[in-house]
Amino acid sequence: MRPPPLPLRRVVIVVPSLFTLFNLFFGIWAMVLATRGEFYRAGWFIVFAGILDTLDGRVARISGTGTRFGAELDSLVDIVSFGVAPAFLMYQVEFAAGSAGGGTGGASWIFCYFYVMAAAIRLARFNVTQAGRPKTYFIGLPSPAAGMTLATYFPFTQTTLYASLHTLPWHLVLTFLMIALTILMVSNVHYPTLPRAGFRTASGLLGLTLIVVILVFGIWKHDAFLFPLGITYMIYGVSRAILLGFFKAPAEDEEAEIAGPIVIDETEQNFRGPRRPGTGTGAGGVA
């Protein structure tokens, strides 16, 4: 098959990075809205950023236009959209003096700092150990999952389900939630990727069913569904790790890549080892 003309090829290569830059746009916009007290819209813009973060990697894999530039750009953008933006939103909602959550201000911002720090470490480790490789699991809680869990908290507070749980000490619950997300992002707990959907195998049908259920309830009952879904995903990884022998230590090759020197080859083909057809991503995929 003859490769596409060079100008068209360049356009196709740029498309995944455009998704990534719109991801950044929504992350910045969410912070602007949070400063105005529009917490509901701010939370959903972070969710939109998460959707775009998923799409940029998919587009790159389908088009075969994964680049080193795209992978690095994605991680830098994710620190903003799923690190700084959710932490800032939670600070404004729950921890700032006079906030909607009745926070006390003071040193409460330190929880937000540690969360952002963990997101940055998690993304850097992802680039070293997993970016550009086929994945059946993530090492540590993916930062988009953590960020969207925090982002959907305020929409969840507008539901009757939240009202029925008014007796819970939510300020304390959210403090421990941010601590748990911080620890899990830099842990060695393995979290599953989105299952492959299909009709030929039982696992494919199960994956398709799961995706359809998430889409239906995510659209139909989005305010009441997505925050509990994020908590469930977080707990699932911990529960699975405990059942399989507590927190699984990284494999030898992972330890070597985390601790050893990083050698950067200027050739695109040698970026993070040999690349298999269809496994590269324009923006690193979910991290």
Mean pLDDT comparison of 97-101, 130-134, 262-266, highest-scoring range: 130-134
pLDDT of residue 262: 44
Helical H segments across 130-221, by residue range: 143-151, 153-156, 160-164, 170-185, 202-220
Whether pLDDT at 7 is above 90: no
284 vs 79, more confident: 79
- What is the C-alpha to C-alpha distance for residues 213 and 227, in angstroms, rounded to an integer? 15
Question: 101 with 170: CB under 8 angstroms?
Answer: yes
Q: What is the pLDDT of residues 138-180, one digit of tens each?
A: 889 999 999 999 999 999 999 999 999 888 898 899 999 999 9
- What is the C-alpha to C-alpha distance for residues 66 and 74, in angstroms, rounded to an integer? 12
Q: What number does CATH give the domain 7-259? A: 1.20.120
Q: What is the pLDDT of residues 174-214, one digit of tens each?
A: 999 999 999 999 999 999 887 776 677 777 778 788 888 88
| Ramachandran angles phi, psi of 257, nearest 5° | -75, -30
List C-alpha distances in Å: 196 to 7, 85, 170, 208.
33, 30, 36, 7
Whether pLDDT at 3 is above 60: no
Task: Give me 282's structure tokens.
Answer: 């324009």
Helical H segments across 64-190, by residue range: 68-79, 85-90, 109-129, 143-151, 153-156, 160-164, 170-185
Three-class SS string for 17-42? HHHHHHHHHHHHHHHHHHHCCCHHHH
- What is the C-alpha to C-alpha distance for residues 178 and 108, in angstroms, rounded to an integer? 11
Closest among 152, 88, 156 to 119, alpha carbons compared: 88
Closest among 67, 46, 47 to 284, alpha carbons compared: 67
Whether pLDDT at 280 is above 50: no
Domain boundaries, the chain: 7-259
pLDDT of residue 180: 96
Q: How many CA atoms lie within 13 A of 265 on its CB side?
A: 8
6 vs 199, more confident: 199
